[in-house]
Amino acid sequence: MSYYKLLKNNKNYTLIRHPWLVILLALITAIAIIIYNQINLKIQVTPISQIVVTFPTEPTTFNPALIIESAYILNYIYEGLVKENARGEIEPNLAKSWQTSKDNKQVIYTLRKGLKWSDGKPLTAEDVVFTYNEIYRNPDIPTYAKDFFLIGKNRTFPTVRKLDDLRVEFTLPEPFAPFIRATKLEILPAHIFRESVKIKDQEGRPKFMSTWGTDTPPKNIIVNGPYTIESYTPSQRIIFRKNPYYWRQDAQGNSQPYIGRVIGQIIPNEDTSLIQFRSGGLDYINVNTDYFSLLKHEEHKGKFTIYNGGLFVGSTAITFNLNKGSRNGQPLVDPIKSRWFNTMEFRQAVAYGIDRQQILNNIYKGLGKLQNSPIAVQSKYYLPVEAGLKVYEYNPQKAKELLLKAGFKYNNQGQLLDDQGNIVRFSLMTNTNNNVLQGMGVHIKQNLSNLGIVVDFNPVAASVFINKLTQTFDWECQLLDVAVGLEPNDWANVWLPEAGWHFFNQEFQAGQTPIIGRQVADWERKIGDLYIQAASEVDEAKRKAIYVKTQQITQEYLPFIYLVNPLSMVAVRNRIQGIEHSALIGTFWNSYDLKLTKE
């Protein structure tokens, strides 16, 4: 038998003839096993750092220009030229600096060097110009951002042009005081979206409108913020992973963010969030007043801290649908009820008929204040009550007097009737996932029953609530959380009659079915005109005087009946260091600065 055949027929022959090979192979195998185990052990003991937070609503899109109800995700994945800090001050962001001309009509931004998108492509002035000219300015794209850049009575958009790869020039038609703050809006990638803006679908809408839906593979969503979207599981979670191309570094040259992954659990129900937080499944939770005493008692044992940011920059309110228009031949609001809602005395009577102090005491446990203005009490433009702001203290007798003055009457059963004998009855809608709003709704229903008004309280799912408010407009009265801000112009799109968030008398937006017969009241137009005038006024004293007028009108005509402004409180695990919770911009506004420590 040949040596070759022997090897082929007996693979152990060589090992038998050469026992030193056995020792050598055993040694190599042992070393390989040790190295493998060390590597594997290192992977096991040093997992990627992560935190788990809660998100209240399901996203309907990942397109940053179209996000409304799930805007909370933008803080993790997108940035603008400037940003707002915890004190409400504007700081450089993608732009390292800017220069404003003496006449306040020209602003030149200089970008940071070396900025990149999450796919490694350069982020340059071309992206800035594209974002403003092709998306925010585009009449066929109903982005919420558009309303912030339509300047003056002619509603003119700034001229935006590229000077070089790092510099962008904005030329304004007239001075616009809040302009720098407005440029905190997100910059989008031109190399991704350019074609989708040009191409139209079968209905004539830009393909951009359907780009980056929730079914888009996360790897295709290109961002410029501290995190990218790693994965999305509908109705369960969104996972963000550290963006390797993010521009921020600390003083020692370490890349930021420090935390490798953020897991956002989608939990619409507040009680469920509480249960998961207390069991250790969440690192963060909003603390409503129902939970405060319980969580305060558990603070030390649970290894978390409750942060109180002061009065929230927002309020609860009710608003009536004042839209007199029709869509597809059907009125948005029953004409009989529309007459009630559009009667100023009716809205004032409702305001006097709600015991807001009792709501504050019973539902909010006194943790807040009554709100009387669309401008935050922290703002330098706020008109204090002692300076003449009209308020509606609980006064059922005054409410009934106003109703009788407006032509309403009472029958023998104490029911309120209009001048045609119709029983006054309307539906009050709110978000079923918000326990506080549901408690308030029950309270308001009872209060108004004392005026003879029948309220059908109707909590609905968040998606239905938002859809009716922003798309179908077929609602009667809403109980909701509303924004009030430091800079009034941040919410100009609520007050300008043609703007996208003019909820109480909504105009249809691009891509929506037209509304026929919509009317804008004189007082409503006046508020819009004053907001335009104030934005163009650079003298702060004069600007404040204009906003005083807007608050006087809003409190007289009550498009929103403001209720309670709660304290902004959150509970965060102590292992998360660097938290600067702000009532102005939230808890994770500085996610790139946060670190984890051993408990």
pLDDT tens by residue, 108-152:
999 999 999 999 999 999 999 999 999 999 999 988 788 889 899
Examine the pLDDT at 100 and tell me if it is beyond 70: yes
pLDDT tens by residue, 36-64:
444 444 434 457 899 999 998 889 899 99
Domain membership of residue 306 (yes or no) is: yes
pLDDT tens by residue, 508-553:
877 788 999 999 999 999 999 999 999 999 999 999 999 999 999 9
Contacts of 460 (CB under 8 A, 6+ apart): 429, 430, 431, 432, 468
CB atoms within 10 A of CB 91: 10
Examine the pLDDT at 20 and tell me if it is beyond 50: no
What is the token pair recorded at 373?
């203005």
Examine the pLDDT at 229 and tell me if it is beyond 90: yes
Pairing of strands 284-286, 304-311: unpaired
Q: The tokens 């209720």 sit on which residue?
A: 563
Confidence band of 329 (pLDDT split at 50, 70, 90): very high
Sign, CA dihedral 204-205-208-209, equals negative
**CA–CA separation, 588 and 86 (whole Å):** 10
pLDDT tens by residue, 58-90:
898 999 999 877 688 999 999 999 999 998 899
**CA–CA separation, 414 and 228 (whole Å):** 60
Examine the pLDDT at 347 and tell me if it is beyond 90: yes
Q: Phi and psi at residue 396, in whole multiples of 5°?
A: -55, -35
Q: Based on the domain organization, do 294 and 346 belong to the same domain? A: no
Examine the pLDDT at 191 and tell me if it is beyond 70: yes
CATH of the domain at 302: 3.40.190.10
Examine the pLDDT at 156 and tell me if it is beyond 50: yes
Q: Based on the domain organization, do 287 and 353 belong to the same domain? A: no
Contacts of 24 (CB under 8 A, 6+ apart): none
**CA–CA separation, 12 and 129 (whole Å):** 72
Domain membership of residue 221 (yes or no) is: yes
Tell me the average pLDDT of the chain: 90
Pairing of strands 95-100, 106-111: antiparallel
Contact between residue 307 and residue 587 where contact means Cβ atoms under 8 Å apart: yes
Say what the pLDDT of residue 232 is: 97
Which of 170, 198, 226 is the C-terminal boundary of a domain? 198
Q: Based on the domain organization, do 111 and 81 belong to the same domain? A: yes
Say what the pLDDT of residue 367 is: 92
Domain membership of residue 29 (yes or no) is: no
Q: Based on the domain organization, do 587 and 549 belong to the same domain? A: no
Q: Where are the alpha helices (DSSP H) in 450-521?
A: 462-467, 492-495
Q: Based on the domain organization, do 299 and 319 belong to the same domain? A: no
Q: Phi and psi at residue 478, in whole multiples of 5°?
A: -120, 140
Q: Based on the domain organization, do 339 and 477 belong to the same domain? A: yes
The candidate with the shortest Cα–Cα distance to 123, out of 184, 93, 166, 84, is 166
Q: Based on the domain organization, do 303 and 252 belong to the same domain? A: yes
Q: Phi and psi at residue 283, in whole multiples of 5°?
A: -100, -5
Examine the pLDDT at 462 and tell me if it is beyond 70: yes
Instruction: State the total domains in the chain.
Output: 3
**CA–CA separation, 299 and 195 (whole Å):** 52
Say what the pLDDT of residue 204 is: 86
Q: Based on the domain organization, do 494 and 517 belong to the same domain? A: yes
CB atoms within 10 A of CB 187: 25
**CA–CA separation, 13 and 154 (whole Å):** 95
Average pLDDT over residues 442-446: 97
Say what the pLDDT of residue 501 is: 87
What is the token pair recorded at 586?
């939230």
Q: Based on the domain organization, do 193 and 297 belong to the same domain? A: no
The candidate with the shortest Cα–Cα distance to 377, out of 362, 391, 395, 393, is 391
Query: Any idea what the Cα angle at residue 58 is, between residues 53 and 63, rounded to 5°?
Result: 100
The CA-based diameter of the chain, rounded to the nearest angstrom, is: 121
Q: What is the number of residues in the chain?
A: 599
Average pLDDT over residues 282-303: 94
pLDDT tens by residue, 351-368:
999 999 999 999 999 999
Sign, CA dihedral 495-496-497-503, equals negative
Domain membership of residue 366 (yes or no) is: yes
Say what the pLDDT of residue 30 is: 43
Confidence band of 348 (pLDDT split at 50, 70, 90): very high
Contact between residue 111 and residue 94 where contact means Cβ atoms under 8 Å apart: yes
- Minimum mean pLDDT among 21-30, 182-191, 289-298, 312-321: which range? 21-30
**CA–CA separation, 327 and 332 (whole Å):** 7
Percent helix, strand and coil across the chain, each rounded to 5? 35, 25, 40
The residue with greater pLDDT, 97 or 25, is 97
Helix axis angle, 344-353 relative to 435-449, nearest 10°? 110
Radius of gyration of the chain measured on its C-alpha atoms: 29
Say what the pLDDT of residue 599 is: 61
Q: At residue 594, what is the residue type?
A: L
Segments forming the whole domain that contains residue 405? 314-566
Q: Based on the domain organization, do 143 and 173 belong to the same domain? A: yes
Q: What is the 3-state secondary structure (H, E, C) of 54-77?
A: EECCCCCECCCCCCCCCHHHHHHH
Three-state DSSP class for residue 164: strand
Average pLDDT over residues 174-189: 96
Examine the pLDDT at 487 and tell me if it is beyond 70: yes
**CA–CA separation, 547 and 535 (whole Å):** 10
Domain membership of residue 460 (yes or no) is: yes
CB atoms within 10 A of CB 377: 17
Q: Based on the domain organization, do 349 and 426 belong to the same domain? A: yes
Q: Based on the domain organization, do 554 and 492 belong to the same domain? A: yes
Domain membership of residue 60 (yes or no) is: no
Domain membership of residue 4 (yes or no) is: no
pLDDT tens by residue, 389-438:
999 999 999 999 999 999 999 999 999 999 999 999 999 999 988 888 99
Average pLDDT over residues 221-234: 97
Looking at the chain, the whole-number percentage of residues with pLDDT higher than 70 is 92
Domain membership of residue 242 (yes or no) is: yes
Confidence band of 488 (pLDDT split at 50, 70, 90): very high
CATH of the domain at 131: 3.90.76.10
H/E element, 330: strand 330-331
Contact between residue 530 and residue 549 where contact means Cβ atoms under 8 Å apart: yes
pLDDT tens by residue, 429-443:
999 888 889 999 999
The residue with greater pLDDT, 575 or 19, is 575
